[in-house]
Amino acid sequence: MLAYRGACPESETELSAALQMFEKRKHVQMQWVTWTYRALRELLLLRRATCDGNLKSKSQISNPLSPLPPAR
For the chain, what's the residue count? 72
pLDDT value at residue 21 = 97
The pTM score is: 0.63
pLDDT tens by residue, the chain, 72 residues: 566 666 677 888 999 999 999 999 999 999 999 999 999 888 888 877 777 766 555 555 566 566 655 555
Distance CA 53, CA 51 (A): 5
pLDDT value at residue 28 = 95
